[in-house]
Structure 1
Amino acid sequence: MAQLYFYYSAMNAGKSTSLLQNAHNYKERGLAPVLFTAAIDERYGKGRIASRIGLASDAELFDDSTDFVAWVQAHGGRASIHCILIDEAQFLTVAQVNQLAAVVDDLNVPVVCYGLRTDFMGELFPGSARLLAIADKLSELKAICHCGRKATMTARLSGDGKVQQSGEQVVIGNNDVYVSLCRAHHRAALAGDHAAAKPARIIKE
């Protein structure tokens, strides 16, 4: 039976790499996965999923108006689609996560979502919260803080490199905007210790 999966992490944990590898595995076996990415994210071009290690693929776009049940039905259902792979799943609405559950339960198409669990303030994204609540399988992908501990949080940097302590939940950016931190350094950064978001300078003898 099909299942709903949610792979979550902080930034720079290889979510897109894992998604693209998963898609390759399906195609290698003669199966047809469909990739989706958020229309709001154009860092690598519109309708493009790319990883930091150079893998990339075209993808369908979703926004708040996308109805996943209707889309799958209109494109042949289980007979034509063997898996749905969703990048940037934190941008899904709660209603869309419920739709994806219906794609799994009613149309028997597996759905694998990859996304951030929390925003730069450590608050759950609504889509991620719903996935954590109803996904059949949850898996954390590991990112590393500059101190060497597991990074579970993501901090947002302003133009001068300081950690932002307020602002809109959704701002698109790469490593120049976001940094992955362990909880301790994230707490310190939000408390005003901007150095907590940066690795200590290594002095070579």
Structure 2
Amino acid sequence: MAKLYFRYSAMNAGKSTAMLQVAHNYEEQGQKVLLYTASIDSRYGVGKVTSRLGPQRQVDTFDGDTDFLASVPQVACVLVDEAQFLSTVQAQQLHQLAQVRGVPVICYGLRTDFMGEPFPGSAYLLALADDIEELKNICACGKKATMNIRVDAQRRRIRQGEQVSIGGNERYFQACGRCFYAG
């Protein structure tokens, strides 16, 4: 039976690296996979999944209009990076792909934003996923990082604003709960 998997973490835990490795493993066995990333994430170019370690791959993109049930052919596995940007309907479609069409779906993303609020896509993935795994990362203090902090160009913390603001290490860093609330 195929499953919907949600692998989440704070920033910089290796989600994209893990996804690229899973794709490589399937393809090394001669199986076809379909990879997606959010079209709004243009940090390394639109439609590119890029690991901070260096590996990069051009993939399909999704946006609010993507209908996964209509656009996904029969493949061995569907992999989705930046899954926090999925809509609630898209999370439901990915669950249906796994449950009804028998296509394993593995989603990688953030659980919460810089204010500690859940992303709608992540909330639905947490509710629907058959298998949930936290990818571990550490805070600057050495404790497990579970939160994300947004900063401005001078590295001052930003506590309010739009939920989505695309950026990498220059805009965000990971933190444990204690450091998240203390900062």
TM-score range (shorter-chain normalised) is over 0.9
Percent pairwise identity:
54
Name the CA distance, whole Å, in 1 between partners of 2:135 and 2:99: 25
Instruction: Give TM-score, length-normalised by structure 1.
Output: 0.88
User: Where does residue 78 of structure 2 map in the other structure?
Assistant: 84
Name the CA distance, whole Å, in 2 between partners of 1:8 and 1:164: 23
User: Where does residue 179 of structure 1 map in the other structure?
Assistant: 173
Question: Residue by residue, what CA displacement relative to the aligned partner does 1:22-44 show, whole Å, maximum 9, x if unpaired?
Answer: 00000010101110000000111
Name the CA distance, whole Å, in 1 between partners of 2:162 and 2:154: 18
Name the CA distance, whole Å, in 1 between partners of 2:48 and 2:160: 29
Alignment partner of 1:94 out of 88, 91, 105: 88
Query: Counterpart amino acid of 2:55?
Result: L
Structure that is richer in helix per residue: 1
User: Where does residue 131 of structure 1 map in the other structure?
Assistant: 125
> How far 1:55 sits from its partner (Å)?
1.0
User: Where does residue 30 of structure 1 map in the other structure?
Assistant: 30
Q: Report the number of matched residues.
A: 183
User: Where does residue 109 of structure 2 map in the other structure?
Assistant: 115
**In the TM superposition, what are the counterparts of 1:1-205 in structure 2 within 5 Å?**
1-72=1-72, 75=73, 77=74, 81-189=75-183
Query: Counterpart amino acid of 2:177?
Result: R
Give the CA RMSD over aligned residues.
Answer: 0.6
Question: Residue by residue, what CA displacement relative to the aligned partner does 1:174-203 show, whole Å, maximum 9, x if unpaired?
Answer: 1010010000000012xxxxxxxxxxxxxx
SS at structure 2 position matched to 1:42: coil
SS at structure 2 position matched to 1:129: helix
Runs ≥4 residues deviating over 2 A: none
Name the CA distance, whole Å, in 1 between partners of 2:153 and 2:160: 14
Name the CA distance, whole Å, in 1 between partners of 2:138 and 2:131: 23
Query: Counterpart amino acid of 2:70?
Result: A
Name the CA distance, whole Å, in 1 between partners of 2:125 and 2:169: 25
